[in-house]
Structure 1
C-alpha cells in the first residue's frame, strides 16, 4: 500500500466510480442513460405560437383590471369594451379624472388618450410599442416553460422543448409510440387552458356577434353543444393567471368528473366580491373560449375555490395538468409532426455501436503496437474514460442521442491524444540520454501546456455548441465535454500514477516500453 501514490488512488477510485454507475445502464436500472428520440423512437413536433393573440389576452387582462379598480374605488364608468386591441370606456364624472389617472398609472406599458365630453371623459387605452414587442417575446418564453412543465407533470422522461427561430417551438418526446399517447400529448400541449369567468348577460336576446359587440358583449359556444351560444359580459371578471392549484375529483350530486381549482389571494378577493354583488345571476366558467358551465350564484363564494365539470376522467386529468402548469399566453398551432420508429432507433444504435467498437478496437491495437507498454497504459486510461462518460451521463440523467454517440466515438480518438503527446515528449528526452524516471516526469511536465491548450479550446467549443445549439447538437456537446474532462483525469493523472507505481515497485522500464528501438 505504501507504493500507491495519490495519482493512482484517484485513478482507481475514478475507475470504480465509472464501473459502478455504468452497469445499471446496461441492466436497464436507475441511474441509467436515457435514450433520445433518434435512438428509441418517439414523437417530433414543431409548434407555431400566435403572438398576436398574446397581445389580445394582455388587453383583456388590463380591461378586467380597469373594471375591478373602478368598482373598488367607486369610479363610475360606462361602455367598457375592447376593440382593435384598445380599451375604450367613459368616465361618467370628470371630477374623478385625477383618481382614475392615478389608478391607471399603476398599470405598466400603456398609453392613455383622453377625449373630454359634456361632463364626462372618454378614455382610450392601448399598449406601448415596446410593451407589444415584450409581450410577443414573453409569449414564446412562457410557452416553452409552460409546455415543459405540462410534459413533466404528465410523467414523461426527458422531454425536449426548445425555441426555434422567432415564433416556433420544437418538442421531442422519446418513447411516445401508441396513437392514444400521441393524441393525449397533442391535446395537452395545444390546449391553451385559458380559464376565464364571465357574467352571463341574461337581459338581452342577441344572436349576432356584431350586435353583441355594440353592448360590450361576446358570444361563446357551449362546450357540450356547439349550436348553443352564450351571451357574456366583457371583460371577464377573472382569469386563470390567478390559479394556484387544480385537482381532479368528482361532483357530490351527480358524481361527474370535475376539476377543483384554487385561486390566489387576489383572485379569491375578486371572486368573493363578484359573487357577492351578483347573487341570483349566472357566472359562466369559460376554458379556451368554450362555456363549460354557467351556474346561478346562490351566495357569496369565499375561500377562492371553484369547480369545472368535464366529460371524462382523462379529459379532467389533462385539463387539470394544463391549469396547474399555467395557461399558454397565446395559442399554439401544430406546424409539423413526425414519428420516429423504434426500428430506426435500433438501426442507429447498432450502427453507432459498430462504429464505436471498431474505432475503439483499432485505437487500442494501434496504441499497444506502436507504444508497447506505454500504449497499453494509455488503453487502460481509455477504458476508464468510456466508463466515466457513461456513468456521469447516467448520474445526471442526461439523454444520449445519435450525435451524442458520435461525440463518444470522437472522444475515443481524443482521449489517447494526450498520451500520444506525453509519450513523444518522453521519447525525445530518452533520445537525449535523460534517465527513464526523469524522462517520464519531464515528458508529463513538457506536454502539459500543449494538452491543456488543446483541451480547453475544444471545451470552449463544446460549451458554445451547448449554449446555442438545438437538442441534437446539445447531445453532441455534452458527450464531448464530459469526454474531454474525463480524458484529462485519466490520460494525465491516471497514466502518470501508473508509471510512478511501476517505478516505485522496482520494475525496470526500458526505451522498448515506449516503442523505441534500442
Structure 2
C-alpha cells in the first residue's frame, strides 16, 4: 500500500521548513547585511545608537547567514602580486652578522679583527685581518649552520661557507632557498588573509599562483588602490640600536648601519645598526591604548624569546637611545632609563585613535616577510556586478518558467506537484548555501540554472514509470508505489555520476570552477530529496484525501 510513516512525514516537512528558514535572509539581503556588519562592529569596538539601530533591523532569533556574492556579482578589486622572495635572503644574511661576529671574536688571536664588507644581496661577506687563520674561521662559521627544515632538504645545511682570500663568504644553500621560498609564500598568504579578514571584507579569494605569485580578489572593496593600502602596508616593526643622530640624509652610515628618517621630526635622521635587537615577528599581542598624557598609543607584548632579548639589551644599555622603527621610519627613539623586564612596552607618537587602532591591527597580523610587486590590478564596479545579477535572474527565471510550463502541460496535476517541489528545491539550495557561507559567482548561477533543468529529471522518470504501471491495471495506489520503487535505481545512477563530476571539479578546480561545483552538487542533493520524498509525500497526502479510482498522469 501507498504509505509513509508519521515520523518520516514530520522529518520531511521539518527539513523543508528548516531549509526555507535558512534561505529567508537572502530575501532581505541589504537589511540582513547591515545587521551583520553592525553586530560585528559592536563586538569589535562597542555599541553606538546608529549601530544598535542597524542591528535591530533584523530579528536576533532569526538566522542571519547570507549567500555571499562573488567579485563578478558584487564588484570589488583584483590584484596579482609577485612576492620578492630574494628580500628574505638579504634579511637572513643581515641577521646572521651579529652571530658570526660573536663566534669569531673569542678567536681574535687566530683570525685577527673581523670587519663586515659590502656584500651582494643574499650573501654575507666578512674580512679577517689574519688570512692564516682562515681554516679556523671557516670551521667556526660552519658551526652556525642548522639543518634545513623541509622534506626535500633533509640532511643538508642551511648555509654554505667559503673562503675567498681574506674574506669569508656566507650564502644560503640551494635547499634552504627552496625551503625559504615555500615558507615565505605560505607566510605571505596567511598574513594577507588575516589583514583582509581584520577589516571585515567578505569571502576573499587568496590563492597562490606559480612559485612566487599571489592572486587576491576581494568583493566589496571600492578600488584596487584601497586593497593595496590594506595589503601593501608591511608593518615591519623593529627595535634597533642608535649609532648617532643627524640632520643630513646623505650622512655615510658605514658598513652594517643604515640611515632612516624620523616620522615626527622633519629633517631629522638616525644612523642605526642594521641588525635589530628584536623584531615584530616576536610580538604576541598589540592593542590600541593611551599613554600617560592621554594620547593614543599602541601597547605591545613580546613572546618569551623576544622578552629575554629586549630585557637583556635594555639592562646593558641604560642611558643609550633605542629606536622603534616601523616600515623604515623611526617613530620613536627614547633613551633607556632602566631595565625593562617582562617583555611589554608602549609605542607613542602623533597618532590619532584610528591610526593607533590600524597600527595595532597590522602588528597583530604580522609583518609581510617580503615586499610585493603588483603585476596586475583591476577594479570591478558594482554596476557591472548588478548587470551580471540581472542577467542571471533573467536566465534563471526563463529556465524556471519553461520547466514549470512543460511539467504542467505534460503531467497535469502530478506536474503541479513536481513544480511545487522544484520551487522548494531552489529554496533548499539557497538555505544550504547560506548555511555553509558559500560564495555565489556567475558560474554558480550557471550551476543553479543547470540544476533547475535537471531537477525534474527524477520526477520525469517516476511519472513515466507510473504511466507504464497504470497500463497493467494494477490500480492507482500500486502503480504509484511501483513507479517510485522501479525508478529509484535509474535516479541514483544518473545523479551519482553528476555528483562525482561535481566532486572532481571542486577538488581539481579553483575559484569560479569551485563555485560552479558547489552549486551543482548541492542542487543535485536537494533535487533528489524533493523528487523522491517531497513529491511522493504530496502525492500520498492527495491520494489519502481523494481516494481516486483512476488517475491521469
Q: Same fold (TM over 0.5)?
A: yes
For 1:110, which of 140, 145, 158 is the aligned residue?
158
Q: Determine if contact 1:114/1:123 at 8 Å carries over to the other structure.
A: yes
**Matching residue of 1:259:** 298
- CA distance in 2 between counterparts of 1:248 and 1:359 reads 54
Structure 2: distance between partners of 1:509 and 1:326: 75
Secondary structure of the corresponding residue to residue 281 of structure 1: coil
Worse-matched range after superposition: 495-504 or 35-44: 495-504
Deviations 1:387-412 (A, max 9, x none): 11111222233332232222212111
* Equivalent residue number for residue 31 of structure 1: 65
Equivalent residue, structure 2, for 1:219:
259
User: Does the CA-based 8 Å contact 1:248-1:259 persist in structure 2?
Assistant: yes
With over 3 angstroms needed to count, the CA separation of the structure-2 counterparts of 1:281 and 1:418, relative to structure 1, is: same
- 1:504, CA displacement in angstroms? 4.7
**Residues 49-58 or 295-304, more deviating:** 49-58
Aligned to 1:189: 231
Distance in 2 separating the partners of 1:351 and 1:116 = 69
Q: 2:119 — aligned with what?
A: 83
Q: Is it true that 1:453 corresponds to 2:487 in the alignment?
A: no
Secondary structure of 2:498's match? helix
1:112 is displaced (CA, Å) by 3.8
CA 1:260–1:183 in structure 2 vs 1: closer, same or farther (change >3 Å)? farther
CA contact (8 A) 1:8 1:498 kept: no
Q: In the alignment, what sits opposite 2:19? A: 18
Aligned to 1:135: 180
CA distance in 2, matches of 1:62, 1:446: 74
2:342 to 303, 307, 311: 303
CA gap of 1:225–1:53, structure 2 versus 1, over 3 A, is farther
- Say if 1:11 and 1:69 are closer, same or farther in 2 by CA, change over 3 A: farther
Greater shift in the superposed pair: 337-346 or 272-281? 337-346
Distance in 1, matches of 2:79 and 2:137, equals 52
CA deviation vs aligned residue, 1:248-270 (integer Å, no higher than 9, x gap)? 223324x5432222110111001
Deviation readout 1:7-35 (Å, 9 max, x if unpaired): 43333112211221222221232233233
Deviation at 1:101, TM superposition (A): 5.5
Q: CA deviation at 1:360?
A: 1.0
**Which residue does 2:465 correspond to in 1?**
425
RMSD: 3.5
Query: What SS does the aligned partner of 2:376 have?
Result: strand
- Cα displacement (A) at 1:39: 2.5
Q: Structure 1 pair 47/311, CA: closer, same or farther in 2 (3 Å)?
A: farther
- Taking the aligned partners of 1:82 and 1:510, their CA distance within structure 2 comes to 97
SS across alignment from 1:420: helix
Cα distance in 1 between the residues matched to 2:139 and 2:187: 36
The SS at the match of 1:302 is: coil
Structure 1: give runs of 5+ residues left out of the alignment. none
1:244-323 alignment to 2 at 5 Å?
A: 244-253=284-293, 255-313=294-352, 314-323=354-363
Distance change (3 Å), C-alpha of 1:447 and 1:139: farther
- Give how far 1:4 is off: 5.1
The 2-side partners of 1:88 and 1:305 are apart by 35
Normalising by structure 2, what TM-score? 0.80
Report the Cα distance in structure 2 between the residues aligned to 1:101 and 1:365, rounded to whole angstroms. Answer: 80
Q: 1:430 to 1:69 in 2, by over 3 A?
A: farther
**Range with bigger deviation, 481-490 or 436-445:** 436-445
* Cα displacement (A) at 1:96: 9.6
Distance verdict in 2 for CA 1:329–1:353, change over 3 Å: same
Query: Partner residue of 1:47?
Result: 81
Question: CA-to-partner distance for each residue in 1:318-345, whole Å, 9 max, x for gaps?
Answer: 2221110111111123333333323223
- Do the aligned partners of residues 367 and 104 (structure 1) sit closer, same or farther apart at CA in structure 2, a change above 3 Å counting? same
Per-residue deviation, 1:484: 1.4
Q: Is the contact made by 2:159 and 2:176 (CA closer than 8 Å) also made in structure 1? A: no
Match of 1:396 in 2: 436
**2:206 aligned partner:** 161
TM, length-normalised to structure 1:
0.84
* Contact 1:216–1:234 (CA under 8 A) maintained in structure 2: yes
1:142 and 1:190 mapped to 2: Cα distance? Answer: 15
Give the 5 Å matches for 1:341-352: 341-352=381-392
Counterpart contact for 2:77–2:227, Cα < 8 Å: no
Task: Tell me, in whole angstroms, the C-alpha distance in 2 between the residues paired with 1:434 and 1:58.
Answer: 83
The number of equivalent residue pairs is: 501
